[in-house]
Amino acid sequence: MIRNDVFKTLIPLISEHLVVCNIGAPSQELHALDDRASNFYMLGTMGLASSIGLGLAAAQDKPVIAIDGDGSVLTNLGTLATIGNNAQGNFTLLIIDNGSYGSTGDQPTYAGMNTDLAAVAKACGAETVLTVSAEDTAKAVEDAIASDQMTIIVSKCESGNVKVPVIKTNPIVIRERFMEEVRR
Amino acid sequence: MATGMDKQIVEDLKAAGIEYITSVPCKQLAGVIEVLEETPEIMHMPSNKEDEGMGLCAGAYMGGMKPAIVMQNTALGVVVNTLATLIQFYQIPLPMLISYRGEVGEPVACQVEMALHTKAILNQMHIPTYHFHKPEDAAELPGILEYCQMASKPVAILCDASFWRASA
């Protein structure tokens, strides 16, 4: 299974929740599959989906799912220490770990080599960290949303993208409609 | 030890409705950070790097809190992309309380290098910039914080060594 296949299994579980999605292919694929006001798409900055998700979870009570990638977490590795020291029970961080920089031509990441992001997350102080197969990801996310424990899920899937258009929605529209969902 | 100025700055942030602050420390900001830790009305969540901090602030803002970041001017070299593609692109109001290292009174030569670029970067990015040089300049802080929300922009408040020394 590639990322897009994992997304298909996730959509019935996350579509009613606040989702912060990683830049590039992940946001574009989620947007093409199931564009929702409750999705916040990162259009510009790499590596900050987990930080935005944590800030959002800390500021309000609704469940928040941040969908990040292994490459993006590596670019902002300090985020795991901040998350590990500021656990929010309504926060789920899903790291789609396909061992590659999907948006830039599938170059390999260190997470696909010697680096174990789940072990890093644990060492950073996060209590509930799971490594799951692509097939088992939806169940893990469902359980994480239902629990009041902050959960970090590293989903091991295959490298690969599907061809989808770039997101043309105005960023202010993305933010405003997302904030309306937060307030709802 | 926190000074009266450190307390006044945090008091102004609180009065402006700032509820969420992230910080990366600087010697000049130690007093402010100390007061923040003792201010239950403000959630203080330190970050490891300022671009990460701006991500946290963007999330807190969308969650309904007014955020601010406390950082050193050298970090402007870190956050240019995040300011442009997250904070400005999505129009997120973000007061940046910035220690202005490398100005008159600076003991560390290397700090001068980023001081030379500080206002140039802020100008280049069209970020409203205020420079606190004397203690009385801080009287403008409440107005700046209100202006930041009105404009939905990042706003820089540079506080130099002379300001901190005279405020001690």
Min Cα–Cα distance to chain B from A78, Å: 6
**In a domain? residue B14:** yes
Give the pLDDT score at B1: 84
Q: How many domains does chain B have?
A: 1
Give the whole-angstrom CA distance, residue A81 versus residue A73. Answer: 11
Cβ pair B52, A78 in contact under 8 A? yes
Give the whole-angstrom CA distance, residue B70 versus residue B54. Answer: 10
Show the low-confidence residues of chain A (pLDDT under 70): none
Calculate mean pLDDT across residues B92-108: 97
Q: What share of chain B is helix, strand, coil (3-state, %, to 5)?
A: 55, 20, 25
Predicted confidence (pLDDT) per residue in B27-38, tens digit = 999 999 999 999
- Please state the domain extents for chain A: 3-183
Contacts of B58 in chain A (CB under 8 A): 48, 51-52, 55
What CATH number did the domain enclosing B77 receive?
3.40.50.970
**In a domain? residue B82:** yes
Give the pLDDT score at A67: 98
**In a domain? residue B46:** yes
Options 3.30.110.60, 3.40.50.970, 3.55.50.30, 3.40.50.2300; CATH for A3-183 is 3.40.50.970
Calculate mean pLDDT across residues B126-133: 98
Contacts of A58 in chain B (CB under 8 A): 20, 43, 45, 56, 59-60, 63
Calculate mean pLDDT across residues B129-135: 98
Task: Count Cβ–Cβ pairs < 8 Å, chain A vs chain B.
Answer: 117
**ipTM for the complex shown:** 0.98
Give the whole-angstrom CA distance, residue A176 versus residue A174. Answer: 6
Nearest to A182 among B48, B57, B62 (CB): B62
CB half-sphere exposure, A6, CA atoms < 13 A: 31
Contacts of B56 in chain A (CB under 8 A): 51-52, 54-55, 58, 82
Q: What does pTM read for this prediction?
A: 0.98
Q: State which residues form the domain around B85.
A: 4-132
Q: Do B59 and A59 touch (CB under 8 A)?
A: yes
